[in-house]
Amino acid sequence: MNTVREPRRAAEPEKTRRSEPHKVGAWREHHAWSLSISLRRLRARPLGTLLTVAVMGVALALPLAFYLLLGNVERMGDALGRNQAISVFMKPGQNAGMADTAASALRGRPEVADITVRTPKDGLDELAEVQGFSGALQSLDANPLPFVLSVQPKPGLSADDVARLVDAMKNTPGVDMVQDTGAWRQRLDALLGVGTRAVTLLAGLLGMAALLVVGNTIRVDILSRAEEIGVLLLIGASKPFVRRPYLYTGVWLGFLAGVLAVALAVLLELSMVGPVSRLAAAYDGSVSFGGLPAWLLVSVPFAAALLGWLGARLVSARQIRRMAAA
Partner 1 sequence: MNTTSRTATQLPANPRHIPYPLGLHGTTGNAVIGFDLVSKRYEGDHQALTDVSFRVDAGEMAFVTGHSGAGKSTLLKLLAMIERPTNGVVTLDGQKLNTVRAHDIPRLRRKLGMVFQDHRLLLDRSVFGNVELPLVIAGVAPSERSRRVRAALEKVGLLSYEKQLPSALSTGEQQRVGIARAIVAKPAVLIADEPTGNLDPQLAMEIMSLFAEFQQVGTAVLVASHDLMLIKRMKKRVVVLDHGKLVADVPATEVQ
Binding site for partner 1 (CB under 8 A): 1-16, 18, 22-23, 25-27, 29-30, 33, 44, 227-228, 230-239, 241
**Shortest CB 34 distance to partner 1, Å:** 9
Nearer to partner 1, 21 or 132 (CB): 21
- Which of 117, 124, 177, 180 has its CA nearest to residue 147? 117
Nearer to partner 1, 14 or 160 (CB): 14
**Shortest CB 205 distance to partner 1, Å:** 36
Nearer to partner 1, 7 or 156 (CB): 7
**Shortest CB 240 distance to partner 1, Å:** 9
Nearer to partner 1, 15 or 278 (CB): 15
**Shortest CB 310 distance to partner 1, Å:** 24
Nearer to partner 1, 45 or 91 (CB): 45
Say if residues 112 and 106 touch (Cβ distance below 8 Å): yes
Nearer to partner 1, 30 or 164 (CB): 30
Nearer to partner 1, 25 or 173 (CB): 25
**Shortest CB 15 distance to partner 1, Å:** 8
**Shortest CB 232 distance to partner 1, Å:** 7
**Shortest CB 314 distance to partner 1, Å:** 21
**Which three-class secondary structure string do you get for the chain?**
CCCCCCCCCCCCCCCCCCCHHHHHHHHHHHHHHHHHHHHHHHHHCHHHHHHHHHHHHHHHHHHHHHHHHHHHHHHHHHHHHCCCCEEEEECCCCCHHHHHHHHHHHHCCCCEEEEEEECHHHHHHHHHHCCCCHHHHHCCCCCCCCCEEEEEECCCCCHHHHHHHHHHHHCCCCEEEEEECCHHHHHHHHHHHHHHHHHHHHHHHHHHHHHHHHHHHHHHHHHHCHHHHHHHHHCCCCHHHHHHHHHHHHHHHHHHHHHHHHHHHHHHHHHHHHHHHHHHHHCCCCCCCCCCCHHHHHHHHHHHHHHHHHHHHHHHHHHHHHHHHC
